[in-house]
Each structure stands twice: as C-alpha cells, then as structure tokens.
Structure 1
Amino acid sequence: MHDDTIAAIATAVGESGIAVIRISGPSAIEAAAPYVRAKTGLKDAATHTVQYAKIVDPATGEAVDEALVTVMRAPRSFTAEDVVEISVHGGIVPVRRVLDLLLAGGGIRLAEPGEFTRRAFVNGRIDLAQAEAVMDLIRSKSERAMKVALKQVEGALSRKIGELRQRLIELLAHLEVNIDYPEHDVEELTSAFIRERSGEVLAEIRQLLKSANEGRILREGIMTAIVGRPNVGKSSLLNLLAGTERAIVTDIPGTTRDVIEEYVTVSGIPLRLLDTAGIRETSDVVERIGVERSRSALTDADLLLIVLNRSEPLHEDDRTLLGQAAGRQAVVILNKSDLPAKLDEAEVRKLLPGTAIVPMSVKEGLGMNELGQAIADLFFGGKLEGGEAAYVSNARHAALLKQAEQALVDAIESTDAGVPIDIVQIDVRTAWERLGEITGDTAGESLIDQIFSQFCLGK
C-alpha cells in the first residue's frame, strides 16, 4: 500500500479562490507529468519550485484548467515522499474534473482518510503524537488551542515522552543486569535505587497529567450553559460572545424555546456555549419543553453562566436557580449594570458562596475581560500557559499516562514489599511500553489504523 502513488483534494470542498490537489508517492512526479504543461517539464523541475502550468487531458490535448504546480522531492516533503501539489481554481466542478483526470490514468489512486499523515508517520518524519496533533491543529477553536497543537506538532510532548522512556530503559538495563548477574551489584542496585529512579519518572508523569484537563478544555472547549429566568439578557449575551445575531432578542419573555449551541472564545478560552430557554413555570407546551431542555443542559454543563438582572430585585426563580447551581462550576453575571442597581448582591453571595460575580452590561459590551478572568480562575488557576509547555490534550494520551503512572506505583510498592526484582521489572517495562504507545513506538497496527481512520481525506 505504501508503494502506491495517492492523490486527494487537500482543501475544503466548495467555492474558493484556489483548491489544492496533493499527490504523493514514489511515482508522484512521473505519474503527474503527462497532465502538466509547463515551461519546465515536471520531471526536470527542481525540488521546492512552483511554476505556472495548464492541466490537460493527455488523450485529447484539451486544457482543463490553469494551475500553479509545486514539486517537492523526497525526503523534503510532508510525507517524506515525492509530492506534487496542484493549485487549481476553487469550485466543485474544476477540482473534481482535475482529480478524476489524474485518477483515470491508472498510476494514481485516491488516498484513504489520513493516508498522507500516516505516510509521514511510517516514513519516520513524525511520530504518532505529532500525527494526532495535526488534526488538533486543524480543529483548534482558539488561538491558545492552536498554540498547544502546534507545539505538539513540533514535538514538545514527544520529546518529553522520549526523555521519560530513556530513563526507564536505563532503569530496565540495570534491572536486567542484576537479574542475569546477581553476583554483580551494578551501581549498588537496591530498593532505594529503584524507588528513586521510578519516583523521578512518576513525578514527571503526574506533572503531565495535571495539564490534561487544561489541554482537554483547550482542545474541546468548556461545555457552558447560559441560564437564567426569561428576559435577563441570556440571548443578548450569546450574541455578544458570538459577535453575531445568533439568537432572537425581544422584550417578550419566552422567545428562546430551545437550546442554541455556538462555539465562542472568551479571553482565548474556547467555550461550547449553550443558550437556554428562560427557566420559569409556564403553561405554554412548547416553552415548557424548552425549559426542560434548559434544566437538562444545566445538569450536563461543565460551566454555568448564571445571568441575573441587576436592575431588578432578586426574583424567586433566581433564588431557585442559584440553589440548583450549588456545588457547580459557575460564574454569576449581574447584567444591566449600566442601570441603577436594585438587586441585593449580598444575598447572591449568601446563596452561592465563593462563586465569582461579574457585573456586566451586555447592551454596552462591558465586563468581557472580567468574565474571561473569572473563567480562567475557575479552570486554569488564573493563568494559561498558552502552549509554551508540553500539554496533554488528547484523551488517549491521558489514559496511557494514567496506566504508566499506575505501573510505576506498583513497581515502587512491590519494591517496598520485597517482591523479587524480575517481578518489579514487569511493572517498569509496562510503564515504558505505555509511554511508547503515545508516540507509536510500541503501538499495534490496529491502533494505528483506528487513529488514522478518523482523519479527513487529503490530510
């Protein structure tokens, strides 16, 4: 399969200025050459050069499109193979016609999902963690998420994992020498030595795991429900955060009758935002369904943005909602702070002690920075690293780190209990193998197949 030459559309399908068709494989240049009419023949083109060309049907000589054609010779390409990228006019018809023409010749086949990135992995250009970070980079929903993914593409996490595996392999070497030659006490191999070396790696794994929740949030966003009684400004807040008129805003209570979902960023923090129907008792059948969905969203959300009207006294529905939010991650927003205050803030603090309270005027766009800081305080201890450190943002990586952590805990406990060294060695090796699954060094073929099957075509 990896000896084939493959092609796919590498840009999003639809109308655009240009679209890129990527061809990769040992015969990429030779297979594409008959379709490219340029000043310099494709076979003679120097690596990393771009030239204007016409894409033609070799059977008829008919010009199909004008293009810019880029040649990248192995191993200096994304896949570490010969690569030709054809930039044609964007649009479904011209792109499909050029791709169909290339595939009809018989020397090029359509790429499978993720096959370009998989070839980069197989050819040793990137490891498995870097390959997964490519998709995280594409799907990033905020600048900070992008920075985290870019650091991982560049190998920040992979280098850290490599360092930890190197320490464990050195420990394994000492253990094996002691098992094979018990008469030679290599470096006075003792229980304290095993405990020290295992403990060092264990501490660094736990440090990585501390970043896992932050990394997950940056990758997926915080599921956030905007809740409150009708007409306190929930939909207006959604529109402000989204930067567009996403929800209908009127003075009529009960306008929002379903949960509206939107991805937004607040101070660089991605939120999967749910605008809910106003929570109140109602006889309207449709509105009542919306209220029930709002209560469900309130239960499922990671973060509640509880909107109260600061220009009115606290309503009984407000008190009920604040009571339901007890023990949850929440920020109370006192909206309409541009109007005279009539709400008793002390009562709010009594009902939800320790919860951040942010005065805002959604109408005037005031309080956004304070809201962002309150969310950062809740989920990031007030500060985001912004991708400078090695983050763990992938659930698979976090699970494997947890397994490696447990294996090293078992190794230390077994050592303390006087268990024979050959049994302790099994736990240390398990930790080494689990870390290797993150980078792909010890990952099975079925796992690799599963990971790359989730990629999009053309990547």
Structure 2
Amino acid sequence: MADGDTIFANSSGSPPAAIAVIRISGARAHDAAERLAGPLPPPRRAAVRKLKGSDGLLLDEALVLRFDSPASATGEDLVELHCHGGRAVVAAVLAALSTFPHCRLAEPGEFTRRALSAGRIDLTEAEGLADLLEAETEAKRRAAMGVAGGGLRRLIAGWRERVVGLSAQAEAAIDYVGDEDETALDTGALVTAARELADEWKGWLARPRSDVLRRGARVVLAGPPNSGKSSLLNALAGEERAIVADEAGTTRDVIEVPLAIGGLPIVLVDTAGIRPTDQHVERIGVERALVQVDFADVVLWLGNEESRPTHPRVIPIHAQADVRPGPPPDRIAVSVVTGEGLTSLLHAIRRFVETVVPPEDQLALNQRHADLLEQAAGALEGVSTDLVILAEQLRQARSLLDKITGRSGTEEMLDALFSRYCLGK
C-alpha cells in the first residue's frame, strides 16, 4: 500500500443494480473526478454530470457529490459517483479511474481504515461497522448499531477521563509528597476511586459478550446413537441436513446448521452418538461430540438422566414421543413425525439463548474488549497506597483502555479486522 495513493471502489455491492456508488478518496480525488466529470459541484451539493473517458467517449451520466477534507467519511477529499448500476458501466468507470496517476483500486476495508487513521471513528466503531455489515439477524443488527454508532466509544471515553483525572491527582500528590497533610486525604480518596472503577469494569465483564451474536449461540444435540438427534436437527432446520438411518453410528462428524429463532442467531450442531466403541472413526466422532458439549451454549440432551452432561444449560428431551411411552415430567416430549413438542422446544431454546446473548438495546463487549478491560481491572487489583505505584497502575489501566479504542495497538490486529470488509468500505 503506497502512502498518498488515491483509492477508488464500487461501494454499493456487486452489479447489476439500479444505482452503483463509486467512491474516490485521497489527495487526488477531486482531480480524478474532474477528469471524468468536468467541474465538480460545491461541497455536499449534488449535481448531474456526464462521465467521459480519456478518449472523450461518454461512459455514463451520473450524480456527483463532493466532500472536502477533513469533513468527509475518510477525513480526506472524497467524491461519490452515483452511476447506473450495470456491470459494463461500473467496469468502464473503474477502468478509467485506474489510468490516472497515483489512483488505484481500494483494498478491503481501506476507506474505513483511513477514517480510523484520520480520527473520524475509533476502533470500536470500526468493529461495530464490520459486525453491522455481516449482520444476518435483528439481534445482530441492534447490537452492531449501538457500537457502530459510538456508544462503546463514549463509554470508554468516560472511563478514560476518570482514569486520567485520578492519574493527575496522583502525580500532583507525588509533587507534594513531603507534606503529609497535603497528601493523606488525597491518597485514601484515590485508592477508593480506583477500586470503584475496577469494580465497575468487573460488572461489565460479567455481562454476555457480543461475540455470541456474531457467531450464533451453539445449540448442540447430544445423546446416544439412534436417539433421534439427526431427525430432530432436520425438523428444526426445516430441511434434510443430516443423514437419518436405523443403523447406529450414522453420524460420525459434526454437522452445523445456522438458524434464527425470534431474531436470535443460533447454530444447531448435530453430533455423533455418545457411547463406548472400539471403532477408530466412530471413537473420533464421540470425542468430537464431547468437545462440542463442553463448548455449547445450550445442550439438547436426548439420553437418559444418568448420562446427562454437567452443563449449566441443558434441555432434556423425550424424543420419538409418537412411539415411546410418556415422558418424565421434566422433559419435553418431541416427535418429528407428528410435530408434537417442536414449538415448545423452540421456545425453550430461545429462553436459554436469551441468557447468553446481550439484552436488547444494551451495549456489549466483544472478546477483545473484554480481554483488555479485564487486564485494566487487573492493573487496579490490590491498589497501592504508595503514590508512585498507584500512578503506574493508573497508567497501565489507561494504556489498556487506549488499546480498546485504537489509540494504541498492533498492525496485525488492524489487518485482521479490515480483512472482514468489502472493497468499497
């Protein structure tokens, strides 16, 4: 990636479409757009222009919007060309832009990365935007909107302001360390305030993570062979995703089916029947099934009570209710043949999933945020009454908060984030 390059890309998805929005950003964005469209309109005023290639031939007639640095999405000079969305039109405009000096096709996420570098957004907002672009359910969309809209940035900015204030007091108290009357009260107040802040962070760490929404809550079907797991997965999925046969041990590997229940994303996971076996391949399947149970958010258990896994969220199921005697009172009777119990089971799954996903309209941390916030809380563990040590603890906490918002961080983490973006973002 060359510094100072002007970048361009189709930002509105793959053609054909009614409209295609081509973005140009960088120091030569206005010049490149003028070569195509002639004189540009005033900033933030739309105007219709004829787009022409270097040979003077008409490419398209487009709506042109100009944005001047730093008041643009990327913090750079930026132009949007709202063209007709045919494949040939888009290809022709992009080809014309590629012939201009220092202009090149944008890399995935490069527009947003430039916005981050220019301070138009912070890292949490960039992560929220990536989640919003990937959102497939209403719950994912709501959670991503809160972060992309700056909710988490404002929360962390408030925490950082408090830490900076405490640090300033600690540094000032160090300057007056010879005067005990000057520092005694301040030290006690600082220690108390730092402990309260750490306790507040621990409260946030106890909340459900937003990662569950992005990946989907894992709902694992488990039990012995021929207990009806695969049939139940097919019934819940509404299609034949797993092989069903009378022969025991048909399922040897893990089968995953993403679904949404009431707007909540889940991943149904079918597993091998759990039983002792001497067959090498089946034994591998059983081992994988046990691992899936350990990492499940919810377990649908189709086995007997004696073999029930020790998991905090287990839904015991009495499968094949159309041919088996009445179920125990604590089990949901289900028949994939008659449809009995399927609605009740879906309601039970939703109730459990709601306990592991963030509540509606509540900000949530992802795993990266939580790991750094946990370290920040740890930095304030056992807060010292020694002012020099306390000042260092506060400095460490502030540095970790800065890593959450991207004030400090690593290029590798940024590369991983922006690889999730499309070209036009």
Q: What TM-score results when the alignment is normalised by the length of structure 2?
A: 0.83
The CA distance in 2 between the partners of 1:448 and 1:280, in whole Å, is 42
Asked whether the equivalents of residues 113 and 452 of structure 1 are also in contact (C-alpha less than 8 Å), the reply is no
2:402 — aligned with what? Answer: 436
> Can you give the 5+ residue segments of structure 1 that lack an aligned partner in the other structure?
309-317, 350-356
1:85 partnered with 2:80: yes
Aligned residue for 2:209, secondary structure, equals helix
Change (3 A) 1:232 1:97: farther
Change (3 A) 1:178 1:139: same
The alpha carbon displacement at 1:376 in A equals 2.6
> Can you give the 5+ residue segments of structure 2 that lack an aligned partner in the other structure?
none
1:99 partnered with 2:74: no
The CA distance in 1 between the partners of 2:4 and 2:152, in whole Å, is 30
1:33 — aligned with what? Answer: 34
The CA distance in 1 between the partners of 2:265 and 2:16, in whole Å, is 28
Asked whether the equivalents of residues 9 and 94 of structure 2 are also in contact (C-alpha less than 8 Å), the reply is yes
The CA distance in 1 between the partners of 2:317 and 2:410, in whole Å, is 50
Q: Which amino acid aligns with 1:332?
A: P
1:332 — aligned with what? Answer: 316
Aligned residue for 1:81, secondary structure, equals coil
1:200 partnered with 2:200: no
1:296 — aligned with what? Answer: 288
2:363 — aligned with what? Answer: 390
Post-superposition Cα deviations, 1:179-201, rounded to whole Å, max 9, x if no partner, equal: 11222755753442122110121
The alpha carbon displacement at 1:18 in A equals 4.7
1:401 — aligned with what? Answer: 373
Asked whether the equivalents of residues 251 and 273 of structure 2 are also in contact (C-alpha less than 8 Å), the reply is yes
Aligned-CA RMSD value: 3.4
Q: Which amino acid aligns with 1:440?
A: G
2:46 — aligned with what? Answer: 49
1:371 — aligned with what? Answer: 349
Q: Which amino acid aligns with 1:25?
A: G
Q: Number of residues paired by the alignment?
A: 415
The alpha carbon displacement at 1:444 in A equals 4.2
Matches within 5 A, 1:54-453: 55-63=51-59, 65=60, 67-88=62-83, 94-182=89-177, 183=179, 185-186=181-182, 188-211=184-207, 213-229=208-224, 233-242=228-237, 244-247=238-241, 252-253=246-247, 258-278=253-273, 289=281, 292-293=284-285, 295-300=287-292, 301-306=295-300, 308=302, 318-319=303-304, 323=307, 325-327=309-311, 329-335=313-319, 339=322, 342-345=325-328, 357-362=331-336, 364=339, 365-367=342-344, 368-377=346-355, 379=356, 384-386=358-360, 388-393=361-366, 395-410=367-382, 412=383, 414-415=384-385, 420-441=386-407, 443-444=408-409, 446=411, 449-450=414-415, 453=418
Identity of aligned residues (%): 33
Asked whether the equivalents of residues 259 and 290 of structure 1 are also in contact (C-alpha less than 8 Å), the reply is no
Asked whether the equivalents of residues 54 and 96 of structure 2 are also in contact (C-alpha less than 8 Å), the reply is no
Asked whether the equivalents of residues 178 and 189 of structure 1 are also in contact (C-alpha less than 8 Å), the reply is no
The alpha carbon displacement at 1:175 in A equals 1.1
Asked whether the equivalents of residues 173 and 186 of structure 2 are also in contact (C-alpha less than 8 Å), the reply is no
The CA distance in 1 between the partners of 2:14 and 2:312, in whole Å, is 42
The alpha carbon displacement at 1:129 in A equals 1.4
Aligned residue for 2:159, secondary structure, equals helix
